[in-house]
């Protein structure tokens, strides 16, 4: 059984608006590091954000470990989101908070707002946060404010925060778009490596086709909300890329 099974997903942002996703289906299996590629406006970010219902689909099913996310009541959805780690394009850090506190905020769904507000985290949580910060290369920046970090460092904080959730699935939304090429490659390497180490499958929306084909074992290609390609990376040839991107320059 796949970890994630998306079936015939359709999304529009208003009742009479255009369809952003048009009957998209895909599967993510254990061990997959799967890229979603396509031109701007193809629906990549919308697809990623549908998985944990940050965006609500109008039809289709999203099965996570066999349970339909689209029909979950609020309490069950909240529990499920605790185990879906998200890594964002714009990092989504709290600038005035320390690196350590931003990472510990990954436990917010489990410890509750009041305990988080008063920093009443367990010793186990604190030790795990320190271990993760060391893993992402930020052990010397624990007490710095998030706004004192470079873009690459901020993304590393986001990675550690996502791992604090002990995720069963990683959703990664344009993790390299605001980074220079060298740092982007380092960040992709880190995300891929920690996904393997923690045995977490990942679905990665990424604009850089070269990085997608270099790091990911599977590719989903979208164009205009329609799935154009779904298969192993080695099957994605130049002709298919031209079909996915149409007139856009790669």
pTM of the model: 0.90
Phi-psi region of 229 (alpha: psi -120 to 50; beta: other; left: phi over 0): beta
* Three-state secondary structure call for residue 219: strand
Q: Helix, strand or coil for residue 49?
A: helix
Specify the pLDDT at position 33. Answer: 98
| 35, pLDDT greater than 70 | yes
Residue 186: pLDDT band (50, 70, 90) is: very high
Backbone torsions φ then ψ of 217, nearest 5 degrees? -90, -10
Q: How far apart are CA 79 and CA 137, in angstroms?
A: 30
Per-residue pLDDT band for 247 (boundaries 50, 70, 90) equals low
Q: From CA 129, how far away is CA 173, in angstroms rounded?
A: 22
The pLDDT confidence band at residue 15, using thresholds 50, 70 and 90, is confident
Task: Please say whether the beta carbons of 203 and 34 come within 8 A.
Answer: yes
Over residues 82-123, the pLDDT tens digits come to 899 999 887 788 889 999 999 998 887 555 554 545 466 788
- Alpha helical stretches, state H, the chain: 44-50, 74-81, 99-104, 108-111, 113-117, 123-135, 151-164, 181-197, 209-215, 238-245
Q: Is the per-residue pLDDT at 249 higher than 50?
A: no
Q: Average per-residue pLDDT in the chain?
A: 91
Predicted confidence (pLDDT) per residue in 110-169, tens digit: 555 545 454 667 889 999 999 999 999 999 999 999 999 999 999 999 999 999 999 999
Residue-level pLDDT at 120: 66
Q: Which domains does the chain have, with CATH numbers?
A: 1-83+170-175+202-250 (3.40.50.300)
Helix (H) or strand (E) holding 166: none
């Amino acid at each position: 059984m796949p970890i994630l099974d998306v079936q015939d997903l359709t999304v529009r942002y208003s009742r009479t608006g255009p369809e952003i996703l048009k009957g998209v289906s895909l599967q993510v299996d254990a061990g997959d590091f799967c890229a979603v590629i396509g031109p701007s406006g193809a629906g990549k970010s919308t697809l990623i954000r549908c998985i944990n219902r940050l965006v609500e689909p109008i039809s289709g099913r999203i099965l996570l470990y066999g349970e339909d996310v689209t029909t979950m009541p609020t309490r069950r959805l909240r529990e499920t989101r605790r185990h879906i780690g998200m890594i964002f394009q714009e990092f989504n850090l709290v600038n005035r908070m320390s690196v350590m506190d931003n990472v510990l905020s990954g436990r917010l769904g489990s410890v509750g707002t009041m305990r988080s507000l008063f920093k009443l985290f367990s010793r186990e949580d604190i030790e795990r946060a320190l271990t993760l910060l060391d893993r992402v290369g930020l052990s010397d920046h624990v007490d710095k404010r998030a706004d004192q970090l470079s873009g690459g460092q901020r993304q590393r904080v986001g990675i550690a925060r996502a791992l604090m959730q002990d995720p069963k699935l990683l959703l990664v939304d344009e993790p390299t778009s605001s980074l220079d090429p060298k740092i982007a490659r380092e960040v992709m390497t880190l995300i891929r490596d920690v996904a393997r180490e923690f045995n977490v499958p990942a679905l990665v929306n990424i604009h850089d086709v070269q990085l997608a084909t270099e790091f990911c074992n599977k590719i989903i290609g979208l164009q205009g909300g329609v799935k154009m390609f779904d298969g192993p990376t080695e099957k994605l040839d130049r002709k298919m890329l031209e079909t996915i991107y149409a007139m856009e320059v790669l």
